[in-house]
Amino acid sequence: LSEFLEGRFESAERYQLRALAILENDCERNAAAIAEGVSNLGVIQAAAGGYAQAAGAFERALDLRRRMGDQGSIAVARDQGHLAEAYAQRLQFAEAERLAESSLERRRELLPAKHPEIATTLNNLGDMMRAQGQAKQAESLFRDALAIWTSEAGPNHLETAVSQYNLAMTLADEGRYGEAEQLFGKSLETLRMRLGPNHPQVGDVSRAYERARTLAR
């Protein structure tokens, strides 16, 4: 875990593979732990940019869970969400959308209505829609995600700022620069406060804000 948190993904992957090898000495007894370990391996590989490998890991984790009779747990929903993100990174949007929508449906069944995982899934699905030029669908998803983060985390939380940025980008795509400018401004204020003025993300949002401000005039 420490290697992963510190960004040492190759080392984290090696440790995870060793742990899996030990568990796989008794597959029947360790089936649930193996499925979770394979899923964790996929998370590490995705963080390192190995989306093809990660997709394979998440597919295997889902298959292992199905073999155990697990068709609808939160673990399945999370693996579906991870696999959807891996597919989206590889521009496999049709399959990514199907999985993300299934993941969202399961999470809504199993979690409180304003749970952060639901907001994250809404955001990821919005990213997929925006990447395909489906601005109206993306806008609706980003608004739902923003409503959850604002309600549950507050207006000055980092996730709220990220949701504001995502929605602003979509509004800018639609030529609604005045609305986008306002949201970029709110996002920028929070990010400067939370991350400091020199953070790369602050620079990205600042440039988007200035562009929207210019085009709104």
Range(s) for CATH 1.25.40.10 in the chain?
1-110, 115-217
Protein fold of 115-217: 1.25.40
For the domain covering 1-110, report its CATH number: 1.25.40.10
pLDDT tens over the chain, length 217 residues: 445 545 668 888 999 999 999 998 888 888 899 999 999 999 999 999 999 999 999 999 999 999 999 888 999 999 999 999 999 999 999 999 999 999 999 999 999 999 999 999 999 999 999 999 999 999 999 999 999 999 999 999 999 999 999 999 999 999 999 999 999 999 999 999 999 999 999 999 999 999 999 999 8
Residues 186-198 pLDDT 10s = 999 999 999 999 9
Predicted local confidence at residue 134, as pLDDT: 96
The secondary structure of the chain, three-state, reads CHHHHCCCHHHHHHHHHHHHHHHHHHCCCCHHHHHHHHHHHHHHHHHCCCHHHHHHHHHHHHHHHHHCCCCCCHHHHHHHHHHHHHHHHCCCHHHHHHHHHHHHHHHHHHCCCCCHHHHHHHHHHHHHHHHCCCHHHHHHHHHHHHHHHHHHHCCCCHHHHHHHHHHHHHHHHCCCHHHHHHHHHHHHHHHHHHHCCCCHHHHHHHHHHHHHHHHHC
